[in-house]
A and B are shown apart, each in its own frame.
Chain A
Amino acid sequence: MSAPTEPEVPQAVTYREIQEILRTFRDSGWTGMTVELHGMRITVGKHGPPASRGLAPRESGISDPRVGAAVAAPGATPVSVPAESVGPPTSEGASTAASAPLGPAAAAPPVSASAEAVGSPAWGSPPPAPAEPPAPAGLPAVAGTAPAEPGVAAGAAPAGPRPGGAVDTTGCVAVRSPAVGAFWVAPGPGQPPFAQVGQRVAQDEQLAIVEVMKLMNPVVAPVAGTLVQVCAANAELVEYDQVLFWIRPGDE
């Protein structure tokens, strides 16, 4: 018989736990919520992730809500998680939810959440011990924000076009991922991104990288035009054929 194993502090949150948190939040009257669970801080807000001390400015792009493992490096970009897709996921459904609305407007105002791993590293490697002591099992520390009163801001709105916010993509051309892998917006760590929203891009100009097991696949613009939306977050897993960008075609 095997030795009895001690209950471990989980190093990552499961999809089911995240869905449960989002469901709980959605059914509550709150406009914002921060959950500390297993060494991870999860912040949920009805109008964008509420401002949280110590978080780095959020990058544009929304990641798949079903990412269970914490992927942000310490102090790095929190991963935004739109809550529309609470419910049975499909891979196609997820990408449209992630970059909603595309075409027809989304039904409900988006709930967005950000998950920051406290002290956990990026992308798939085992995390070191969490920087903060984890909350006791079963008793997540929850700081709720009271139901919104007029004038009380639930959280700072991010600068620039908000991913998942109402960006009109009619007439735009989708740029789809050539592979399943890690989405990188810049040529290397610390370097500026290949392209920003609002920028004019040429046909075949490189917009990003999708890395598949150390192999870098360039993502290039199929047409010349203006980049109107970035639909995936840096370092997140993107699927084959997933929409990464929308370009409004037009001559430079």
Chain B
Amino acid sequence: MSSPAALAPADPVVRPLRRVLVANRGEIAVRVVRACRALGIESVVVCSTADRHGLAARLADRAVCIGPPPATQSYLAIPSVLSAALGTGCDAIHPGYGFLAENPDFAAACVAEGLVFVGPRPQAVAQAGDKARARVLARAAGIPTLEGSPVLETAEQAVRAADRLGYPVLVKAAAGGGGRGMSVVEDEAGLRARWPAAAQEARSAFGDGRLYLERFIRNARHIEVQVLGDRHGSVIHVGERDCTLQRRHQKVVEESPAPALPEQVRQDIRRSGVAFAEALELDSAGTVEFLYDTDTAGYAFLEFNARIQVEHPVSELVCGLDLVAEQLRSAAGEPLRHRQEDITLHGHAIEVRITTEDPARGFTPHPGTVTVWQPPAGEGIRVDSHCEPGYVVTPYYDSLLAKIIAHGPDRDTAIDRLIAALDTLRVEGVPTTRDFCRAALDHPDFRAGRVSTDWIAARGLPDYLESS
């Protein structure tokens, strides 16, 4: 446990937050507003002109229109977001996920303006955001890391590094993350061909063209640990999540706890998650991501996300905490109210992301108007959504409509409940991934926990397209 003295001089005074600016939109903005309400904190939501009449804007105590629909002119426009926060007397900003959530310049600007950033300290955000640096930190903390290279300057250096690692290798952007900025190469010719393009793509997507290599694991599962920290040096975990079912590195199904994992590995992964958070001096919520190699039963650090994640509800249903409320409390300077031994995990929870992507058309997202929206309800069912009848899906933002989550005393019950819930979901006006998600949940491979990160591409999607 890192000593409090090692932290940046933490303000020992608890300053309860009175008014929080929610710098996001959609379902996560609704989520944060709900957490604010639960804590008696006023909420101000920023919105673009496209989201003015949305659920988040109506639920918040106030909504402030900060720009036109394009995110670069609204949700990503740092001066506009800060202006809205200061002009409405907010004392803190919650960035949600995506947008500015892991932008260290934004976190630092909040602090410079006297606003509390509901998230880790800016230095931790910066350190976590540089994926290559995060690996170095993990290694120094004694956490297994995927064999990889430091940042490489030239294709020649890359070829030498790849020879050491062994093909196939993953070419990754140092400033990437969230599944973006990675590509697999099978051999030296592929690496030489890929190298300049990967650098250029990274430069345009992340403003930083630096690349490194990582060994590529064919039969991988994605296991991540939800950690919580405070400004007083405490770090705890609330269990791990398994987010193996992905499509183009975007998660489709997430669950907690991870199924079919040797108990020793589970404990080791959780311990490594806490160790990384302590090394980072994490003072808020975060997620430590690992890859588990099914063939060797080994695991390795992948990256750290200094934000609340989309799939946080599955952890909440299993551990019983409100993780967004915990972020708000930590941001106010409160110590964590739970020690590790106070955390008990109950049952099993699974989430699917319902988006407007059409699996039959290469998962192209479809804008349009949702004419019918009837979310499921029932025992153990939770729906996190901003969607409602009349909701207009625009091309400006991601295509997520809702997260449907089911909890049960065991995994099979959770799966059954989630399938039943998806069967009662009614959406009209836009295509959705509902049927595809349902098929994946019902697939014998998923039931048996016999999946890997390329399962959807290799098995799940082909099986689905064939049957429909």
Contacts and interface: CB of A to CB of B under 8 A. Distances in A.
Interface string A75-107: 000000000000011111000000000000000
| Size range of the chain A interface in the assembly | 20 to 34
A68 B57 contact: no
Majority secondary structure of chain A interface residues (helix, strand, loop or mixed): loop
B2 interface: no
B420 interface: no
A72 B340 CA distance: 49
B66 interface: yes
Given A90-B58, A124-B87, A212 B65 contact: no
Given A15-B61, A213-B79, A239-B66, A2 B18 contact: no
A210 to B, nearest CB: 9
Given A15-B42, A68-B89, A213-B83, A180 B67 contact: yes
B278 interface: no
Contacts of B68: 240-241
A145 B57 CA distance: 37
A182 B87 contact: yes
Given A1-B335, A89-B63, A90-B63, A181 B83 contact: yes
Contact of A241 (B14, B49, B83): B49
Given A180-B65, A180-B80, A180-B84, A240 B89 contact: no
A203 interface: no
A244 interface: no
A16 interface: yes
B443 interface: no
Contacts of A215: 79
Interface in B60-102: 61-68, 74, 79-80, 82-84, 86-89
Nearest to A70: B89
Given A1-B335, A179-B80, A239-B66, A91 B88 contact: no
B67 A240 contact: yes
Q: Which one of B58, B74, B80, B87 has the greatest number of beta carbons of chain A within 10 Å?
A: B87
A162 interface: no
A199 interface: no
A191 to B, nearest CB: 22
Nearest to B63: A91
A66 B335 CA distance: 33
A90 B57 contact: yes
A196 B67 CA distance: 27
A126 to B, nearest CB: 8
Interface in B27-75: 42, 46-47, 49, 52-53, 57-58, 61-68, 74
A89 B60 CA distance: 9
B82 A213 contact: yes
Interface of A: 1-3, 5, 10, 12, 14-16, 66-69, 88-92, 123-124, 126, 179-182, 212-213, 215, 237, 239-242
Interface of B: 12-14, 16, 18-19, 42, 46-47, 49, 52-53, 57-58, 61-68, 74, 79-80, 82-84, 86-89, 114, 333-335
Closest 3 CB pairs of A and B: A237-B87, A69-B89, A213-B79
18 contacts: A2-B333, A3-B13, A5-B13, A14-B18, A15-B42, A68-B89, A69-B89, A89-B62, A90-B52, A91-B63, A123-B87, A180-B64, A180-B66, A213-B79, A213-B82, A237-B64, A239-B64, A240-B65
